[in-house]
Structures are given as structure tokens and as C-alpha cells.
Amino acid sequence: MKRFLYSILIFLLSGLIPAFSTEEEKQSSSPQAVVIGGGIGALTSAIYLQRAGIDTLVIEGKTPGGAIAQSPMVHNWPGEIQINGSDLADKVRKQAEANGAKFLSHEVIDVDFSKKTFTIKTRDIYDEQETKTIQTKACIIAVGSVPRFLGVKGESGEKGYWTKGVYSCAVCDGGLYKDRTVAVVGGGDSAVIEADYLSNIAKKVYLILRSDKFRTVEIMRKNKLLKKGNVEVIYNTKVQEIEGDGQKVTHLNLSSSKQLPVDGIFLAIGATPNSDVFKKQVAVDEKGYIRLAKGQQTSVPGVFAIGDVVDPFYKQAVSAAGDGAKAALQVEHYLASMPKDSSESIPDANKQIVLAQNATTEGTLKKLTSQEEFYQAIGENSTPLVVGFFSPYCGPCQTLTPKLEAMAEKYAGKIRFLKVDVTHFSELASTYNVYGVPSVIVFNKKGKAVERGVGLDEINPILKKMEAQASQ
């Protein structure tokens, strides 16, 4: 009888344990704290939180490293005489990882801060059908801001030239305009930085200001820029229309009734806080900046905000880092003040999934070294070729690279992959009408370009299609 009961018990346990394990794998991730954003402020928060023993998940979004990753050279970061912005962001990210922070390449599409346990819904940046629900006791919002547009004809929309000659990031797309003529619109520090970077690439740089003076903090950099022979400042002028030939920008119509021939235009006219998804959950001002109640705390206890999403004035990486440290210390105090059963570590049922996404794939994504190599690659072959056009300082490019590396490894022998740095091969990019990064062009077995996309939203469906074909 005992043996019979023992057998029944073993049978029941063997059936139940796998069922529980499977269900656990389907549960949402539940870290103690979630940081939404991937910039310097977000990364600093992650470092402080982890060092305080708080299990932290960083939801990076589409621009890992944040705005500073798009800066060619940073001269005002303490301890660094000068450092590339992307390198700086990478150093801070590695420090956060070394302290145990986990990273998720998703974007936040919805939040619910109405209960003590907050709910955050995310979507995979490569697959819109893949979503994740995350629960946490504390949240730091560090989503930054999005570039502001001129709002003129020809700028964006179906007949506009956005990513085809109109941009907001010189270090991302400036490499496409070597020895050409470009314009930068704006009179602040960001405009000066953009123009300075482009002056080392383009033949001519026009800096268009709507007023009669600059609004800069870094006077030394501005004065150095104005001494350059290929830089010309146009004061008291507005861009009224952007015109082109259907493929690319050809000239600007100015308020002075003049036409200014240019090959590209870069906007540096400020930014709008990226707070739309949070507006129904926390208090914001009339411009969309999240209001702070005490320190970095928002109108909701346990929810904190830092950086450009709360700061309409300074917008500096170092101030965002300071905000991030303060917010993390406030999170530590907030969690410690909660009832003991609420502040205990929440089990992270999805650690394996997050860690898997952090793994570096040793793929076969080949980096182009010569034009001859490119033309040899697109020649007739037994497999199609996916060519990715990148820039070293482009956030979305850095997001896309691991995806291409993973595909290159998974579909070896079925699809070939090639990575082209537009800062070294700008003429090649121009030949194939690549006017924005990241861009992807698919060549068939006969070497004919059959599909192309610019930006993650256009590229993701192309890659899905390629995966489906390769899996058949």
C-alpha cells in the first residue's frame, strides 16, 4: 500500500512540476525597479540602484546611449578632456552591466501607475507582435526628448524629404554628405555642434538662424566654428519650404525670398519631451514636461523622472547623470520605507529571457573594406545579400547590428550579410541613393536590388520577410 501511494505521489509531482515551470516561464518579469530609457541619466540610475542591492531592469528603447551617443566629441564631461559620445555612453553602460543591471531592447507602449505594483507593457523593437508585461515597485522615467520639426512643406510626410535629405543628427547621417553643401537650422549649442561636425565633412555649411544672435552656452566652440572658412552664418532668416527632385533635397526657399542650393538640411531647433505614454499617469506641464513633486519624484509616489523629460533648460548629460543618481537614492529610500512584505525582492521570473537578449552573437556579419569587395558581393550568387548601411554614432544602427549578426549566424548558407560604414563609403551610399541610416538594401541572387528600407520601422518587415523565406 505504501509503495502504491508513493508511486501515485511521484506521478503527481512529475506531472505538476513541469506544468508549474512552464507557467513560470510565461510570467512577466518583476524586477524591484525599472528604468525606462537608455541615456546617461538612465544608466547612472541603474549603477546606483544595483550598488544598493536593488534588482534593476533597464528598458533601452530604440536609442541606446541616448542623445549623447550622437555627439561626435564631448569636451565637458568631468575627468575626460575629450571623449566620443558613443564611447562615453558605452563605458557607462558596461559599468551598469558590471554591477548587475539587466537590459531589454523593447520600447514602452503603456504604463499603469494606479496601483502599488506598477505595470509596464513593452513591445519588441524588431517584432511588434511580441509584447511583454513587467511589474515593479519603483520606476524611473528617463526617456529624454524627440527632435522638433520646422513644420514646413517638404519636410516630412508622403512627399517630404525626411531621411532623404532632412535629418536631426549630423553624426548619424553627415557621412553621406562628404564634399557637398549642407545647411544647419538653429542657433543653440546643438546647432553649433552639428555645424562643427559637418564642417569637417562637407564642402560648405550654412548655419541658418531665425534671430540676429546665437543662444549658446559654449562660447569657445561657437567662436572656433565661426573662424572656419567653409562655414557661413545666415541671420534673421527662416526656412519656408524644402524642395527637391523627388529623390533628394535640392534647395531651400528662405524668408528672404532667396533660394539656397543645398544637398541636405540638419535640424537643431530644440526638442519636445518624450512623455506621451505617461501623460495620463503622472502630472505634466503645458509643454509636456513631467512635473516633479519632491526631488525627482513625480506626482505618483514610487515613480521618478530625470533628464530631458523634466528639464526644459539645461539639457546636459552631466545634469541628467546627477538626476539619475538622486532618483536612484530616492528609490532606495522609497522601497526601504514600504512594509516589509512589499519591499522584499520580487522574484524575477524572466531573467533567462533578458540575459539571452544581452548575449553577444558571434555572427558572420561582414564589414566592408573596399568598393571592389562590395561589387564582388552583389555579383551573381547562390544566396541573396542583405546590405546594411550604418554610421558609427547612430543609435538605431547600434540597435540593429545585433539583429543582423544573429540572422547572419542563424541563416548562414541561406542569406549573406554585409555592413557598410557610410562615413568611409559615402560615394557608394550616394550611388545607391542611400540618404539615411540605418538603411538596408536586399540584392537577389542575380545582384539586383529588389527591396530597401530606411529606419527600424521600414527595415523590420524586410528582415521578417527574409527570415520567413529562409525558414522554408
**Active-site residue list:** 169, 172-173
Report the half-sphere exposure of 267 (CA within 13 A, side-chain side): 23
Nearest one of 34, 60, 42 to 135, comparing CA atoms = 34
Find out whether 66 and 39 touch, Cβ atoms under 8 Å: yes
Find out whether 456 and 399 touch, Cβ atoms under 8 Å: yes
| Contacts of 45 by beta carbon, 8 Å cutoff, 6+ apart | 35, 56, 140, 142, 306, 324, 325, 327, 328, 331
User: What is the C-alpha to C-alpha distance for residues 51 and 377, in angstroms, rounded to an integer?
Assistant: 48
**Cell digits of residue 462:** 524586410
User: Helices then strands (H, E): number in the chain?
Assistant: 13, 23
Per-residue CA distances from 6 to 1, 2, 10, 17 (Å):
9, 6, 6, 16
Find out whether 245 and 164 touch, Cβ atoms under 8 Å: no
- Pairing type for strands 416-421 and 385-390 reads parallel
Q: Is 89 helix (H, G, I), strand (E, B) or coil?
A: helix
Find out whether 440 and 388 touch, Cβ atoms under 8 Å: yes
Which residue intervals of 123-239 are DSSP H helices?
170-173, 189-199, 219-226
Find out whether 165 and 436 touch, Cβ atoms under 8 Å: no
Q: From edge to edge, which strands make up the β-sheet containing 239-244? A: 239-244, 249-254, 259-261
Residue recorded with cell 524611473: 140
- For residue 410, give the H/E element and its range: helix 395-410
Nearest one of 73, 68, 72, 64 to 93, comparing CA atoms = 64
User: What is the C-alpha to C-alpha distance for residues 135 and 142, in angstroms, rounded to an integer?
Assistant: 18
Amino acid (1-letter code) at residue 416: R
